[in-house]
Structure formats: structure tokens, C-alpha cells
Amino acid sequence: MNQSVQAVIDRSTDDIVDVLANYIDLKRSGTGYKACCPFHDEKTPSLSISEQKGIWKCFGCGEGGSAIDFVMKMEGLEFIEAVKKLANQFHITIHKSNKPAEKPSGNRDALVPGLFNQKSEIRKQKKVFVHLSLHKVI
């Protein structure tokens, strides 16, 4: 994974409270924060933010994930667009990779260059939740 993208992922995980506070009002609750979820109508806060884990979860509608997931959902952005937005916020320059694109070998992970390596890296770090939707190409 590109080092500058990884820097954005790490920074957004460490600063999840700051990222979410740009969109919603947060209130300290024990070791974390609570807020009313912006993804469904509610009057009592059901969205919890764990600063230590760098994740958020709504116990009302079930949504949750990383700071990047939150920005993606709030702004209707794709992953890389959300990363670029956060990179700008954190004053991190995204460097383009000089590696040539991998040639697809027929399996699903090969359809998107580097997807297998990114999924493996994400599983190892358990810092970012990425939701992938694979569609059959006709």
C-alpha cells in the first residue's frame, strides 16, 4: 500500500474524534464519545466512538467502521476520494505509485490491481473496515 495513503489511514484512525467532530456533535461518555447518528432519525445518542480503537458504531442502525468509512458515507465518496479529502485535511501529500499495474490472472482479487495485498494488509492491521461489493461483469 502506498505510504502516503497508509499515513492518512493511520492519522484518521488516531484522530477519529476530530474527523467525526467535523460532521456531528460529540459528547464525552466514559472512555469514548457518543452522538446522535446522522444515518437515521433519533433523539437519543446511539452512535459510539472508541478513540482507543479508532472506530465508530451505531447501535441503532448498525452502521460502523473507521473514520474513512464515516467520511465515505457522509459525503457519498469512494474510498480513494475520502482518503484524498482526509489527506487534504491532515496536510498529507498523496504520492502516486510508480509500480506498473498488475496483470489480471482471472480471479476476483486480480480484477483490481493490488486488491489482494490491500485486503491482507487491512486484515493484519484491523484498523480500516472496507466494504467491497463485487458485481458480475457481462
Task: For 26-85, write each residue's pLDDT tens digit.
Answer: 999 999 999 999 999 999 999 999 999 999 999 999 999 999 999 999 999 999 999 999
More confident residue, 135 or 111: 111
Report pLDDT digits (tens) over 107-131.
554 555 555 555 556 555 544 444 4
Question: How does strand 64-65 pair with strand 32-35?
Answer: unpaired
What's the pLDDT band for 96 if we cut at 50, 70, 90? confident
